[in-house]
Copies of this chain bind each other. A is one copy, B any other.
Amino acid sequence: MKRKDDRKVGQIFQAALKLVVSKGLSGITMGDISKAAGIATGTLYVYFKSKDELINALFAACRENSVAHSFKGYDPAQPYKVGFKHVWLNILRYRLHNFEEAVFMEQCYHSPFITPETREKASRLAAPYNELLERGKKEQLLKPVDTGLLITFLVGSMNELVKQTHYHGTTLTRTRINTTFDMCWDALKS
């Protein structure tokens, strides 16, 4: 992706995300995206040389954004559970406020659009999460099981919670958030 006008790339990404939520990854066309972004179809090709590249770039951008936000304000000096909850809340908030990204990522998971390279690049970004959970196990606060399994639980429950919240219009009160966190913690704690 070239660097002609970064605002335009943002418009394109926003347009694509909105469309994926409403029409699904399989339903969006370059025409739709350009229209929603307020530019001409041909202009898309100034920024991305194909639909594939556009989707991959968006996937990578979402992933980076998401990880970056997760650890904002995380202070390793704090007690483990405090830091863990901080990250957990970061993730929750990020996904709720950027629901479109979450949907897009899920749709991408089984699509032929995402290349192995992009996929691998994404999984490399998971390192900080691994470290966080390893630390918990080292401090004997988390169950001494495979880290992958712990992440699975963390991610899976979070994903579903965000979807539920979004679709059923449940407002996430402080109490509900705490309840949910407690459930997650109960699952992971040793």
Complex interface: chain B residues within 8 A of A158 (CB):
156
Residues in B with CB closer than 8 Å to A8 are none
Contacts A20-B110, A24-B112; A160 near B164 (Cβ below 8 A): no
Q: Which residues of A contact B (CB under 8 A)?
A: 1, 20-27, 40, 42, 103, 106-113, 143, 145-146, 148-149, 152-153, 155-161, 163-164, 168, 170, 176, 179-180, 183-184, 186-189
Knowing A112-B23, A157-B156 are in contact, say whether A164-B148 is a contact too (CB < 8 A). yes
> Contact: B176 with A149, CB < 8 Å?
yes
Closest to A160 in B: B156
Residue numbers in B under 8 Å from A176 (CB-CB): 146, 149
Given contacts A143-B183, A152-B157, A152-B160, 4 further A-B contacts (CB under 8 A): A23-B111, A143-B179, A148-B170, A149-B164
Query: Can you tell how many copies of this chain the complex includes?
Result: 4
Decide: B27 and A179 in contact? CB cutoff 8 A. no
- B110 with A24: CB separation less than 8 A: yes
Query: Least Cβ distance of A45 to chain B in Å?
Result: 12
Q: Check B110 against A21 for contact (C-beta < 8 Å).
A: yes
Q: How far is the CA of A144 from the CA of B12 in the complex (A)?
A: 45
- CB neighbours of A159 from chain B (8 A): 156, 159-160
Closest residue of chain B to A148 (Cβ to Cβ) is: B164
Chain B residues closer than 8 Å to A113, beta-carbon distance: 24, 26
Q: How far is the CA of A23 from the CA of B187 in the complex (A)?
A: 34
A171 to chain B, nearest CB (A): 12
Q: Are A111 and B27 in contact (CB under 8 A)?
A: yes
If A23-B111, A24-B110, A112-B23 touch, does A161 touch B157 (CB 8 Å cutoff)?
A: no
